[in-house]
Amino acid sequence: ARQAKIRNFSIVAHIDHGKSTIADRILELTETVSKREMQAQLLDSMDLERERGITIKLNAVELHYTAKDGETYIFHLIDTPGHVDFSYEVSRSLAACEGAILVVDASQGVEAQTLANVYLALDDDLEIVPVINKIDLPSAQPEVVRQEIEDVIGLDASEAVLASAKTGIGIEEMLEQIVHNIPAPDGDLTAPLKALIFDSVYDDYRGVVLSMRVVEGVVKPGDKIRLMNSGAEYEVVEVGVNSPKPIKRDYLMAGDVGYLTASIKDIQDTRVGDTVTHADNPAEKPLAGYREMHPMVFSGLYPTDNAKYNDLREALEKLQLNDAALEFEPETSQALGFGFRCGFLGMLHMDVVQERLEREFNMDLITTAPSVTYNVELTDGQMVDVSNPSQMPEVSTIKEINEPYVKATIMVPNDYVGAVMDLCQRKRGTFITMEYLDDYRVNVIYDMPLSEIIFDFFDKLKSGTKGYASLDYELDGTRPSDLVKIDILLNGDKVDALSFIAHRDFAQERARTIVVRLKDVIPRQNFEIPIQAAIGAKIIARTNIKAYRKDVTARIHTGDPDRRAKLLDKQKRGKKRMKSVGTVDVPQDAFMAVLKTD
């Protein structure tokens, strides 16, 4: 009987279309959180998320809604991350639901990333409740957007809720539609336990806390459980729901969404997508769709102060406890000393990790330019994976370098198709096809090297289309590529941390741009510093940093004490982010200079 009252759903939305605000309104209207204790955007629990306004970690909240039919329903609202870096997590959290609310901004319309998530939801046979949000905006065009949802996504939008999360219009109607349009879960209570893990976080007191959807069976404290893909076994300590604070329950049954703790210390045992079953009465097969997470972007992280190496290791270990996608291993650089090569899902993930290390662990870091993993075939038939450009084998030993490719889908208004194609072409893309979605929108699909997509492609795409284009991509194998390693020499010394990989056709141009950029970011010192770029022993670009003549700081008026303090502080911070490489002081910016392609 309880099962019939449950509604499990997610909110699917493009970044900024109002997902968090809608979630807040739902929490308010169901009185899950009183207005007074309502902290804006409660679902995004990490500080960093709140500050950046992006959703990274998933969360599930239980709410109670008394509908117009007089019945009280149990809602489980499952949060999904909105960024392209985290699409696997999105697919797992959708798999925990029977329905999804699709939020579309009434002034922006449907965007590519939204579309990708809607397709994930449709693949899982979820019932979709379309909501057109921000109808209070003067630029809102709800009827145009309604038509667009029908034309572009192919959903019936005749009943789409017109809402303003800002003013509260439409929120109740949305809750009624959830009750009536999203089916209750089914699932056999007497079958062997099958529960899908869609999130896991580490808690200092309870160990790993799993968020899961029970698909079949029942689980309660004291049960011996097994994680079907990792094989790890544990005894359940506690089960419960978040409402939004954790509330213990005696059991969780088929249809429920809640949490489970079992004194689990290693988050690697509890990867998102794995199936929980009973150790002594296991399910025959795990739930479908489990995928190992593979980082796509790698970069070196080095403490500016070499003595902090162990602190950095401890910080990374702690971060990994609630970020199973983060990988790292020790690495040494002649230029930077001891550090770690870290693997990330994408640039946003990398930024987030870096920022958390700096803020939560007080680390001062030098980050080297990110690289993808190249698959290199040597002349002796061996295959090696290279994710650190400085470790690219000697040219004479290489038979072929394969680089990862993606299928990139860019949704853009007609007017900007030319600009998008131009950009893709410059990024070594191969045009595949173009699909007209309606009278004014096109999906442009390109085959592109991953390395060209992950760095500044997204920014370039946004600026080239006045922000109108949106991007989604998926890995699509590797292709042989004519790539070369370019080394940078400062004052005659090769700086391994500045080496990078480029396509041969672009090598000269990239090398020239980079030596000039380095000249700008590396401060003058009291001797002239030649900067050279080389392929093997051949110098392909060079410039000089002139020696300085005057002490620049001596010219600053120090009359205003406030200003002076600020200046000193700035200098101190600037200094910390500097690394002596041989005889030259190199600032953090230099290591990222190789990213800037023009």
Residues contributing to the annotated binding site for GTP = 16-21, 133-136
Smaller CB distance to ligand GTP: residue 15 or 293? Answer: 15
We find the least distance from the C-beta atom of residue 99 to ligand GTP, in angstroms, to be 18
200 binds ligand GTP (CB under 6 A): no
User: Which residues are known binding-site members?
Assistant: 16-21, 133-136
Q: 80 near 94, Cβ under 8 Å? A: yes
Smaller CB distance to ligand GTP: residue 175 or 497? Answer: 175
Q: 547 near 528, Cβ under 8 Å? A: yes
Smaller CB distance to ligand GTP: residue 32 or 499? Answer: 32
Give CA–CA dist 368/387, Å, rounded: 12
244 binds ligand GTP (CB under 6 A): no
- The residue within the footprint of ligand GTP, chosen from 53, 467, 480, 492 (CB under 6 A), is 53
- The residue within the footprint of ligand GTP, chosen from 6, 165, 392, 419 (CB under 6 A), is 165
- The residue within the footprint of ligand GTP, chosen from 8, 10, 21, 261 (CB under 6 A), is 21
470 binds ligand GTP (CB under 6 A): no
**Total number of residues binding ligand GTP (CB under 6 A)?**
19
Burial (Cβ within 10 Å: 0-12, 13-18, ≥19) of residue 99: buried
CA angle 479, 481, 483 (to 5 degrees): 145
- The residue within the footprint of ligand GTP, chosen from 8, 91, 164, 390 (CB under 6 A), is 164
Burial (Cβ within 10 Å: 0-12, 13-18, ≥19) of residue 51: exposed
87 binds ligand GTP (CB under 6 A): no
Stretch that binds ligand GTP, among 162-170, 406-414, 459-467, 584-592 (CB under 6 A): 162-170
390 binds ligand GTP (CB under 6 A): no
Burial (Cβ within 10 Å: 0-12, 13-18, ≥19) of residue 405: buried
166 binds ligand GTP (CB under 6 A): yes
168 binds ligand GTP (CB under 6 A): no
Give CA–CA dist 112/375, Å, rounded: 30
Q: Do you find a cis peptide bond into 561, omega within 30 degrees of 0?
A: no
137 binds ligand GTP (CB under 6 A): yes
Between β-strands 233-235 and 252-253, what pairing exists: parallel, antiparallel or unpaired?
Answer: unpaired
13 binds ligand GTP (CB under 6 A): yes
Q: 262 near 251, Cβ under 8 Å? A: no
Q: 402 near 421, Cβ under 8 Å? A: no
- The residue within the footprint of ligand GTP, chosen from 51, 123, 136, 186 (CB under 6 A), is 136
Directed axis angle between helix 112-123 and helix 87-95, to 10°?
Answer: 40
Give CA–CA dist 242/127, Å, rounded: 24
We find the least distance from the C-beta atom of residue 134 to ligand GTP, in angstroms, to be 4
134 binds ligand GTP (CB under 6 A): yes
Give CA–CA dist 356/506, Å, rounded: 35
Helix intervals (H) in 167-264: 171-181
113 binds ligand GTP (CB under 6 A): no
Stretch that binds ligand GTP, among 134-142, 367-375, 454-462, 507-515 (CB under 6 A): 134-142
The binding site for ligand GTP (CB under 6 A) comprises 13, 15-21, 53-55, 82, 133-134, 136-137, 164-166
